[in-house]
Amino acid sequence: MLRDRYWNMLAINETARMLFGYDDADHNCLFTFFTNARHRAVQLHWASVAPVVVAAYRADAARSPGDPEFERVVADLGAVSPEFAELWARHDVAVPTQTVKAVHHPEAGDLIFDMMPLAVADHPDWHVELYNSRPGTDTEARLDQLTLTRLPAIV
């Protein structure tokens, strides 16, 4: 996935859509995390990850104090998500780093990834989120099996 400094999704591939529950209505990672029921349902540890997600967004917003777009995202999401509003009010800050993302896919089962956000050199306000199967899990084998079952038959 490619996102901008406000966590707006600039590009997302079909595999990420399928695995993480994104749909065509999703345009902002933070909004999706709190308001997309399908995305939320696949998260194995949503409640424990939510504070970390909000703290990471606050860290990004802190780099641009008074930026009206950060303020708009926070106000708009706070108006529709009491959970977000409560976590934002804590004022926790955590720099986004490599994290573990655990999801449950209806066909493949539990999948565990290492996620690494990388800044795009020519666009430092853009970040690519790379997801790699976590070593020591069977995620890679489950993904291979899922890919095989979803490929069209070759005749």
Q: Is residue 107 part of a domain?
A: yes
Res 154 pLDDT > 60: no
Token pair recorded at residue 120: 């795009």
Res 17 pLDDT > 50: yes
pLDDT digits (tens, 9 = 90+) for 71-93: 999 999 999 999 999 999 999 99
pLDDT digits (tens, 9 = 90+) for 29-70: 999 999 999 889 999 999 999 999 999 999 999 999 999 999
Whether 54 and 35 have beta carbons less than 8 Å apart is answered as no
Whether 78 and 85 have beta carbons less than 8 Å apart is answered as yes
Q: At what angle do helices 68-80 and 46-62 cross, to 10 degrees?
A: 160
Q: Is residue 119 part of a domain?
A: yes
What are residue 112's DSSP bridge partners? 102
Indicate left, alpha or beta for 28 from its phi (over 0: left) and psi (-120 to 50: alpha).
beta
Q: Is residue 155 part of a domain?
A: no
> How many domains is the chain partitioned into structurally?
1
Q: Is residue 85 part of a domain?
A: yes
Tell me the residue range of the domain where 80 lies: 2-150
**Average of per-residue pLDDT across 128-147:** 93
Q: Is residue 57 part of a domain?
A: yes
CATH of the domain at 102: 3.30.450.180
